[in-house]
Amino acid sequence: MRVFSGEWEVYGLGNSKAVDFPGVTGIKCDITNYIELGNYIDDIDPDAVIHTAAIADANFCQQNPELSYNVNVEASKNLAGICCDFQIPFAFTSTDLVFDGKKGMYLEEDGKNPLSVYGEQKSVAEDAVLQIYPEATVFRIPLMFGFPGASTGNYLFKLIGQIKMGEAATLFNDEYRSVCGAKSISRGMLQLLGKTTGIVHLAGNERLSRFDFGMKVVHAFGLDRGLIKEGSQKELKNVAPRPADVSLNINKAIILGFSPFSVDEELKQIANGKYI
């Protein structure tokens, strides 16, 4: 919303949390309610719709599949259908967790095989969105980080807070993602929306473990490196299965003009107060 509001009149739909951004009109809306959602879109008459809402807690989805399906799949179908009816450019954000993590550096065309309920729901939603509205764009995105003040549930916010409290953080050295900053992802969406259809990977240029990322964080923020410890995902009993390597090949996006900041550069912007 911050990136797009520089060039567009932006409306932010929220349900569990009110949208409160400078230059953005916040609207409370239940996107699982087809009629309510359709009425809002009809009233706003948008030039484009970007659907980022989801229940993205993989463990919660594993334990509450019906509730999460309603948001992650049915609401996505609602939005795709409405945008198709009005012929509004539509982007749906999916996840690298549609893959099983057995090979890494996945291409858009690679076969999907999600391990978790969350990954399965996003995979089903991808297929449904493109079936309902073939001209839609599905942006698969990775583990992201951004402005720590955006939310107390923010991954970066939690990690920095833990280290500043003097508590050690054990991070996986055997789980790989194409980590990328929220600003880079948002700029990529702004650049590519309406210019491509189908599936596009928007992610960082680097294949990093969570431990690698943690070391970059403490370096950027001048924190105690000794409090970042290495661990294995195999040692953690998780409700939702975790794939080992869901790094993404982003050559398609780069050819289309996508140019993400490096993780170090974007972390430096945040640490220096120059992110927003």
Break the chain into its structural domains and give their ranges.
4-271
Per-run averaged pLDDT (10 residues), the chain, 276 residues: 90 84 89 91 94 93 95 96 94 97 96 96 98 97 87 81 92 93 95 92 96 95 93 79 94 96 96 88
* Nearest-angstrom CA–CA distance, 49 and 168: 41
Name 247's Cβ contacts closer than 8 Å, sequence gap at least 6: 96, 104, 105, 106, 142, 176, 177, 178, 203, 207
Which pLDDT score, from 0 to 100, does residue 39 have? Answer: 92
* Nearest-angstrom CA–CA distance, 113 and 209: 21
Say how far residue 90 (Cα) sits from the centre of its chain. Answer: 16
DSSP helix/strand/coil, 101: coil
Question: Considering only CA atoms, which of 113, 119, 56, 101 is closest in space to residue 247?
Answer: 101
φ/ψ of residue 106, rounded to 5: -70, 140
Q: How far is CA 240 from CA 58, 98, 100, 114, in A?
A: 6, 13, 13, 11
Which pLDDT score, from 0 to 100, does residue 152 have? Answer: 67
Spatial contact of 27 and 13, defined as CB atoms under 8 Å apart: yes
- pTM score > 0.85 for this model? yes
Q: Choose which CATH entry (3.30.300.130, 3.30.460.10, 3.40.50.720, 3.10.20.70) describes domain 4-271.
A: 3.40.50.720
Spatial contact of 79 and 93, defined as CB atoms under 8 Å apart: no
* Nearest-angstrom CA–CA distance, 238 and 245: 16
DSSP helix/strand/coil, 124: helix
